[in-house]
Chains A and B, each alone.
Chain A
Amino acid sequence: MPTLDWFPLWLSLEVATIATCLSAGVGIWLAWVLANRTFPGKDIVDALTALPLALPPTVLGYYLLTVIGRNSMFGQAWESVTGSPLVFTPAAAVIAAMLHAIPLLVKSTRAALESVDHDFERAGRSLGASEWRIFWRVSLPLAKRPVAAATALAFARCLGDFGATLMIAGDIPGRTQTVAVAVFDAVEAGNTATARWLVLAISAITILLVFLSNRLERRRPA
């Protein structure tokens, strides 16, 4: 049996970890804004946040290429600062994964924050606490299980991204080839042994994450 190349799995885990951490920061903040603030255009922000869940991944990839591609303003600015393009790098894979993780996190976190009894937040305010402190010490701890469940699901979603990742990070073996892309490649090339092992590994990790997410979702704090 030829030696299996586990690089795609490690890369996927790395990309998913970074993307999930960054998405948690952005997603939880956006969820708090949508749950607590009223501002003009809130409905549009709300809709835009959910859009990546509905759009075909290749369409998302196309948009991303337009925004961060080598000819875009952002892409050129990135290149002039770092000296290398952003597309077709592991960083681009992180961005592609985030695009799917953020909507998931915003949706679940917002619902979790909105389900926290408002009297707790009111109590915090009447006790002289700032909104920031109330969020960190009261709202988020009370919503931590559903938020953790959403984070686990978001991680699983990041691990499995294919369409958008392929379009902006490409399929460079040993550099940007994630598991989903590597499985596609292996099947195309008739390398069924590699495909099978990668599929088994990613399925096991994903099942574990979904199981964990469900457990977290079910057991709410008293």
Chain B
Amino acid sequence: MIAGASLQVVLGKSFPPAEDSAGFDLSVEFEAGPGITALYGPSGSGKTLTLDAIAGFITPQAGRIQLNGQILFDAGTSVSIPPRNRACGYVFQNYALFPHMTVRRNLAFAANNLPRLERHRRIAELLERFHLTELAGRNPRELSGGQKQRASIARALITQPKALLLDEPGRGLDGQLRAELYTTLLDLKALSKIPILLVTHDTEECFALADNVLLYQNGRIVHRGSPVELLRNPGSAEVATLLGDFTIFSAEVLTLDPARQTSTLKMLGLEFNGPHLRGCFRGDRVTLCARPEELRIVGKPGDNRIRRVPLRITERPQAVRVDFDSGLIVDIPRDQWAERPDDIWVDVPAGALRQISK
């Protein structure tokens, strides 16, 4: 129903250095439409602060926050709507379910402003939808992490918020509960066309759920786009490092062939065929990156191959990750790793190399 639902955020807040902490500046600007927008980045980069400012728990020094055209905060005119009138559902990292109330009472607390009949209907509906009907009489301490998570989301939705703010909802959940959470959130996205902001520092969560990703670092958004776009084009070595998993190459441009859209590069002491590099000239130094699943392990020398000895082997759910020296990271299927050759050559296809800076 809210086709044009959108959350526009411009905010600035400075925390001067204190005895026990260095100073911190938060300065971000973004717009989130219906669907899931992930605020992704390392701890302490300002993601939760952004949620707190939107919810009204902290007051920024500068900026403006608008939800569906309604101003929630405007530093210029000193407007700041109290948190209770902002219609922003908030799911806390620790769930913040009231420990002295049952699940049903937690939901009823949130439904207090609804007419009586509507209140009962809505509580029953959300208990059902989040598979909590059987658990409605239990106190939060009697629930598992996943159940608390669902109860917390159900409670936030009772008030029919115009935006939903989730602070690291997957934190502390094991694999299966995490999968359940993803299902819950994807269902939620499909059903309610409201902006959902998801704070996370988990790459998997970010890529499993988000339509858009805002990449945070040191209180700034350093990159934004869909997960696929970010993977395809991290934009800078900094972002590639933040996303993790990328092999980053420092290279010198030896030749460029615009007609064939190719180049020759010198990196890791060898010559490699590379992609066309925009805006580059011969002799330029460039930084490129490659995803671990796009590099291969082979048993013979050849073009774009370099001989390497594995430094560390890590078992992962989907594949085996092999770390080599010079920062090369390769993911290969488990069966292929089991039948690996004695002499290992890493194949770096030209198509896997992406320019991230000149």
A-B contact count (CB 8 A): 63
Interface residue ranges of B83-124 to A (CB < 8 Å): 83-90, 92, 94, 96-100, 109-110, 112-113
A126 near B55: Cβ-Cβ < 8 Å? yes
A126 to B: closest C-beta gap in Å? 4
How many chain B residues touch A (CB < 8 A): the figure is 28
Question: Per a CB cutoff under 8 Å, which of A127, A130, A222 touches B158?
Answer: A127
Contact of B96 among A119, A137, A141, A222 (CB under 8 A): A119
Which B residues touch A119, using CB under 8 A? 92, 94, 96
CB contacts under 8 Å to B, within A18-38, are: none
Q: Is A186 part of the contact surface with B, judged by Cβ < 8 Å?
A: no
Residues of the A chain whose Cβ atoms lie less than 8 Å from the Cβ of B96: 117, 119-120, 122-123
Q: Whole-angstrom distance between the alpha carbons of A119 and B83 in the complex?
A: 13
User: How would you classify the secondary structure of chain A's contact residues: helix, strand, loop or mixed?
Assistant: helix
Is the CB–CB distance between A126 and B156 below 8 Å?
A: yes
Q: Which of B88, B89, B99, B156 contacts A142 (CB 8 A)?
A: B99
Among A124, A127, A133, the residue within 8 A (CB) of B156 is: A127
The answer to whether A130 touches B109 (Cβ under 8 A) is no
Contact of B82 among A120, A123, A125, A141 (CB under 8 A): A125
The 3 closest A-B pairs by CB, nearest first: A125-B83, A123-B96, A126-B90
| Assembled-state Cα–Cα distance A128/B90 (Å) | 11
CA distance A124 to B55 in the complex (A): 12
Q: Which residues from 117 to 168 on chain B have a C-beta closer than 8 Å to any C-beta of chain A?
A: 141, 155-156, 158-159
Q: A130-B84, A137-B109 are in contact. Are A125 and B56 (CB under 8 A)?
A: yes
**Which residues of chain B are within 8 angstroms of A122 by Cβ–Cβ distance?**
55, 57, 83, 90, 92, 96
Residues in B neighbouring A124, C-beta threshold 8 A = 109
Chain B neighbourhood of A120, CB < 8 A: 96, 98
Answer whether residue A221 sits at the interface, using C-beta atoms and an 8 A cutoff: yes
Q: With A122-B90, A123-B90, A126-B83 in contact, do A142 and B100 touch (Cβ < 8 Å)?
A: yes
Given A122-B57, A122-B92, does the pair A128, B85 have CB atoms closer than 8 Å?
yes
| Complex Cα–Cα for A119 and B112 (A) | 19
- Nearest CB in chain A: distance from B29 CB, A: 23
Specify which of B56, B94, B98, B141 is in contact with A138 (CB 8 Å cutoff). B98
Bound CA span A117–B85, Å: 22
Scan residues 74-104 of chain A and give those whose CB is less than 8 A from a CB of chain B. none
Interface size on A, residues (CB 8 A): 19
- Cα–Cα, bound, A123→B109 (Å): 11
Contact A221 B100, beta carbon cutoff 8 Å: yes
Establish whether residues B113 and A128, one from each chain, have CB atoms under 8 Å apart when the complex forms: yes
A222 close to B99 (CB less than 8 A): yes
Contact sample, A vs B, 14 pairs, CB 8 Å cutoff: A119-B94, A120-B96, A120-B98, A123-B98, A126-B88, A127-B156, A127-B158, A128-B87, A128-B110, A137-B98, A142-B99, A142-B100, A221-B99, A222-B141
Distance (Å) between the CB of A49 and the closest chain B CB?
28
Q: Which residue of chain B is the closest to A134 with respect to CB atoms?
A: B84
Q: How far is the CA of A69 from the CA of B279 in the complex (A)?
A: 91
What 1/0 flags go to A131-172 for Cβ under 8 Å of B? 001000110011000000000000000000000000000000
Partner of B109, one of A117, A129, A222: A129
Q: How far is the CA of A188 from the CA of B11 in the complex (A)?
A: 73
CA distance A129 to B82 in the complex (A): 11
**B83 in contact with A141 (CB, 8 Å):** no
**Residues of chain A within 8 A of B90, CB atoms compared:** 122-123, 126
Neighbouring B residues of A125 by C-beta, 8 Å: 56-57, 82-84
